[in-house]
Amino acid sequence: MGPLRQGHESNPRGRLTGMKVRLRNIAVLLTVLAVVPADAPARTTSSPTLGPSRTGAVVRELKFQQARLLVSFVPSDFRLPEQELLDWVLRSARATATFFGRFPVASVRISLEPDGGEYVGDGVAWANPDPRIRLAIGRDIKASTLKGDSTLVHEMTHLGFPDLDDVHLWLHEGIATYVETIARAQAGETTPRAAWAYFAEEMPQGLPERGDHGLYDTPSVDRRYWGGAMFCLVADVEIRRRTANRHGLRTALRAILDAGGTLAQTWEIERVLEVADRAVGVPVLSELFRTWKDKSVAPDLNQLWSHLGVHRGSAGVRLVDTAPLSAIRRGITEPPVRPLLLAEPKLVREATRKP
């Protein structure tokens, strides 16, 4: 199943399978519906202006910051209560906005369509004529599984990056694969330890195999998603190393979004790299791109995990803060100084660090 022009699909070969299995039992402590800044409570309303596309479908309008999330689904298609589905949409929007500093677009239509099983299935995002996301959701999905799934963050991330020539699909998918996990860790929807454990287990899928000629127009799904994510990780670490941890890939992607680089816009790759490098003050992305695009680059992941302080043992992953790049690891997943807060007073997350 190939990507749509001006649209990007999640990996049909199980990009998220490992995460689903490992995160299905992670407890999400906050279970209220609204996920918004304290001064802008979310509202859920029926929208009479959108005609339901299927018999029994409803359209709920969610307000998050300044964005409208128009969520279409048939409540009877799922065992979960409607509130659980809407809560997940808002949490995904909050995680995406935590990474980008704001939600990437002013309005998006999100269609939740039933699928067999107990997991989130394929997703696709596109922006022509307007931003839209379509997701397949298992009819029997459990609340804990849904809350631990990052597929919607992946698709929302696509909305915040410009459309590129199809030969650079690896960069689009790599960014979304990397950001979906980092954003949820920054938003407190998963722990840094779980995020790094997931990367340590899954990222080797992106290493080149015999006959590889780089990421440029790669036919390999694993290289496209996980090779692209590996590129993002190496870039993030190197940007932070050269800037004393002041900037990272997040700074670069925010600058691209602030320059108008959404999925509705088509950019040349040179413009993407120029805006990104200028924002962080070092030409890391341009340097890495020149090599990774058409050469078979295989980073020593074991050494990278060791330097970051991601220690894998028989008892699982533990994070070691004495490792040489441990401060960079913490910088990548740390929450913002002023987190986006939940509306429920007793569950509001207070900032734990001073500005």
pLDDT on residue 24:
27
**Residue 70 · residue 108 · CB < 8 Å:** yes
pLDDT digits (tens, 9 = 90+) for 259-278: 999 999 999 999 999 999 99
Report the predicted TM-score, pTM, of the whole model to 2 decimal places. Answer: 0.84
* Per-residue pLDDT tens listing for the chain (355 residues): 333 434 556 543 333 333 333 232 222 222 222 233 323 333 333 333 344 456 788 999 998 888 999 999 999 999 999 999 999 999 999 999 999 999 999 999 999 999 999 999 999 999 989 999 999 999 999 999 999 999 999 999 999 999 999 999 999 999 999 999 999 999 999 999 999 999 999 999 999 999 999 999 999 999 999 999 999 999 999 999 999 999 999 999 999 999 999 999 999 999 999 999 999 999 999 999 999 999 999 999 999 999 999 999 988 999 999 999 999 999 999 998 876 654 433 333 333 333 3
- pLDDT attached to residue 336: 86
pLDDT for 66: 86
The C-alpha angle 294, 300, 302, rounded to 5 degrees, equals 150
Q: Are strands 67-73 and 120-126 parallel, antiparallel or unpaired?
A: unpaired
Output the pLDDT for position 8: 58
Distance from C-alpha of 145 to C-alpha of 80, rounded to nearest angstrom? 11
3-state secondary structure the chain: CCCCCCEEECCCCCCCHHHHHHHCCCCCCCCCCCECCCCCCCCEEECCCCCCCCCCCEEEEEEECCEEEEEEECHHHCCCCHHHHHHHHHHHHHHHHHHHCCCCCCEEEEEEEEECCCCEEEEEEECCCCCEEEEEEECCCCHHHHHCCCHHHHHHHHHCCCECCHHHHHHHHHHHHHHHHHHHHHCCCCCHHHHHHHHHHHHHHHCCCCCCCCCCCCCCHHHHHHHHHHHHHHHHHHHHHHCCCCCCHHHHHHHHHHCCCCCCCECCHHHHHHHHHHHHCCCHHHHHHHHHCCCCCCCCHHHHHHHHCEEEECCEEEECCCCCCHHHHHHHHCCCCCCCCECCHHHCCCCCCCC
The Cα 254–Cα 243 span in angstroms is 17
Question: What amino acid occupies position 234?
Answer: V
CA 251 to chain centre: 15
* In contact, 124 and 133? CB cutoff 8 Å: yes
What pLDDT is stored for residue 322 in this prediction?
A: 98
Cis preceding linkage at 37, omega within 30: no
Tokens of 225: 């998603």
According to DSSP, the residues that pair with 319 across neighbouring strands are: 310
Kindly report, residue by residue over 282-297, the tens digit of the pLDDT.
999 999 999 999 999 9
